[in-house]
Amino acid sequence: MTPRHREGGDIAAIFVHAGAGYHSVQNEKIHLEACNEAARVAMTLLKNGGSAVDAVEMAIALMEDHEITNAGYGSNLTVDGTVECDATVVDHLGRSGAVGAVSQIKNPISLARKILDASTKPLSLHRVPPNLLVGPGATDFAYDNGIHVLPPDFLVSDPARERWRRWRQDLQAADRQAMVELEERMELECQDNPYMISDYPGIIRATQVMSPPSSVEPNLAVDATASPNAARVNRGTAIEDGANTSYGIDQDQHIDSMEYEHYQEPQDDVDNAFSWEQHPSNFLRDSDGYSGHDGRLTSAATLPVRLHHAEHAEVTPGEDAQSGISSPTPHRKSLVEDYNGHKVDNITDTVGAIAVDCYGNIAAASSSGGIGMKHRGRVGPAALVGIGTAVIPADQEDPDRVSVATVTSGTGEHMATTMAASTCASRIYYSQRKGEGGTFEEVTEDEAMKAMIEKDFMDHVGVKNSHCQAAIGIMAVKKTKDGVFLFFGHNTDSFALASMSSEERKPVCVMSRSNGNGSIAQGGRAYRHRRYRVRHFPIGEF
């Protein structure tokens, strides 16, 4: 007898990631434990009839509550010393709810879910309900809908506060150095032409001591130990060299990039910070605990450190582990160390989850605290549908019932330029890659994933002509009538993921590691529907 026809569904699955970047071997277990817990609890919900949206919300909320992730509690602080988070949830129909730069909310993903639910209900006078709210408007919506609004400093963890203080010291030192260099250039130009009028009328010598002009209030000079929201002094304001003064910060100081160099001492012994064992195909595999590329798992306490790349979120120490985000530009020094010289984690911000429920529906979600020292009000990819999160719904007339969901992590501004999530979802959905002359050719999903990272992202003209590194990690799930299939790829040094199906007793975790230098590592996993067989009984056996 032929197997029973399957319309999709039956197998439930959950997939989570904890960000792309570099995870030290010493802290590998800590990151995978966060993924493991999120996958396990979400699967419990799915096994009890929960929807895919319920599952991704639960998984992300658990990761937001984990201090090691840059989402919710413990997130990176803005340049003003506050927590502002982004989150998105997308259901199987492609409908979404999102929040951007929202503060005082413990679980931004729950607020995004609340917005999604509200967007499906009609408003009076034919008004259109919103699916994205930002800033104070999002906080007000949360309060009006029964979500607790916390005090401003409730979400600030001690490690995040310490990172912010150290980053601020770095920025002050860089600002002073920039003023000195600008002054030197001005003096050289004046020496070459003593009659020229200076092009830098507002520059004051960094070593010059002056009283503030009468038009400037004395409280503009702010001690470095003051509140994060203290007033900042503009570049043109007279300052005393070495004073504990908070400076105004220009956006061109590489705050939003991964090129911000450590200002204290050069690292001459790390000319090539990329030398990991290559694992071009990191398929998730079963283990009693957590499975990495080499199986070495140890834990370490979370301590504040001085970051080398402000783009990355999580900061925990490790020893004897090389660091640095992979870049298309080889031989770039890339290292994160604490004050003891230990090389530590260097992880991009966004966490994500994709779920398929027993009804055959798919959903995706992302959440992030954003890059460290970001401009207040900056909205990152985790709040933007098609950039950080995307879902292609199944066509009702498609006999294969194909649907695809993607979540991304990496350099948010580049992902916005390339519409990374929606582009990858389209490539996986159609199993295509971009060819010469704008044509497309049919390939496998693995080849489509690799081509998307190489051509659609790294070789994009807007990315190639940017001073920021092109870092990305993508997790994609394709659901058909035959099963559920995971595909992932990243050009960063590592990518932490976990998955679990309703037929498994425990999650399967992996720390995928690339070979560095912008090389792409890929992997995946397949959950195929079991074929029901009808047992034939001999006559009279009943």
- Give catalytic residue positions: 350
Question: CA–CA distance from 145 to each of 111, 149, 320 (Å)?
Answer: 9, 11, 49
User: What are the start-end ranges of the E strands in 91-183?
Assistant: 96-102, 132-134
Cα separation, 146 vs 142, in Å, equals: 6
Where does residue 321 fall: left (phi above 0), alpha (psi -120 to 50 degrees), or beta otherwise?
Answer: beta
- Tell me the torsion sign for CA atoms 167, 173, 177, 179: positive
Question: CA–CA distance from 261 to each of 159, 257, 272, 306, 326 (Å)?
Answer: 21, 10, 16, 11, 15
Contact assessment for residue 16 and residue 42, using Cβ atoms and an 8 Å cutoff: yes
Cα separation, 379 vs 135, in Å, equals: 9
Instruction: Give the chain's end-to-end CA distance (angstroms, integer).
Output: 19
Cα separation, 69 vs 72, in Å, equals: 8
Triad 192, 208, 213: Cα angle to 5°: 110
Element (H, E) at 526: strand 521-528
Question: CA–CA distance from 82 to each of 76, 161, 221, 405, 487 (Å)?
Answer: 8, 9, 21, 32, 36
In terms of Cα–Cα distance, which of 476, 475, 489, 482 is closest to 392?
A: 476
The residues that bridge with 346 in the sheet, in sequence order, are 22
Residue with tokens 């277990």: 29
